[in-house]
Amino acid sequence: MKLKKSLVLIIAILLLDQISKFYIKTNFFYGEEVVVFDWFRIHFIENNGMAWGAEFGGKAGKLFLTIFRLFAITGIGYWLYTSIIKKSNTVLIVAISLIFAGALGNIIDSVFYGVIFDTPSNGIATFLPNEPYGKLFFGKVVDMLYFPIWSGDLPSWLPIWGGKPFTFFNAIFNVADTAISTGVGLLIFFNKKAFPKEELTA
């Protein structure tokens, strides 16, 4: 797979990711939900960028996470470039391209969204407002894809969680997260193709 094809894939994912986030941010109230199917909904939330909306260390932790991501994506970009130069397996290059695009998509939110959007408590966000909600490097990641495939009470005989309400799958994510997960999945399920023995021993 050549560099040009990799760039086309990355740009396509970035456009889809950012257009979807921009649309949700400027057309949905925070927490608003649209039911597409019983098992698929558009649900607008934001988080500081960690998986499952986890947070740590307040503003310092948020800044550390954003800076760490910038270093990480530099490493991923170098990995992608060297893999293309070495003419590695297409599966590997596609996987790295997906991971790179997804990581970059969420980094754009974290770095810039705090200064290009506001977040009114009872309104829809404005693009390039007079009073943005944050500062550079302190933006929140926009999520909207929700797949509550099954909801109900767990069997009472289960330890700890028995009888309690449960939703599968209750994570809310975005196009960038999907790209990262797909890339990682390709590396796991097609490990032998992505990392053939001749490359590992070279």
Contact 95, 183 (CB under 8 A): yes
| Catalytically annotated residue among 17, 109, 118, 177 | 177
Separation CA 86–CA 66 (nearest Å)? 30
Four-point Cα dihedral 76, 82, 83, 85, nearest 10: 150
Q: Is 153 a catalytic residue?
A: no
Q: Which of 17, 109, 118, 143 is catalytic?
A: 143
Backbone φ and ψ for 136, nearest 5 degrees, come out as -55, 135
- Cis link prior to 195 (omega < 30° from 0)? no
Give the chain's count of helices (H) and strands (E): 6, 6
As beta bridge partners, residue 153 has: 165
The amino acid occupying position 123 is: G
Catalytic residues: 143, 177
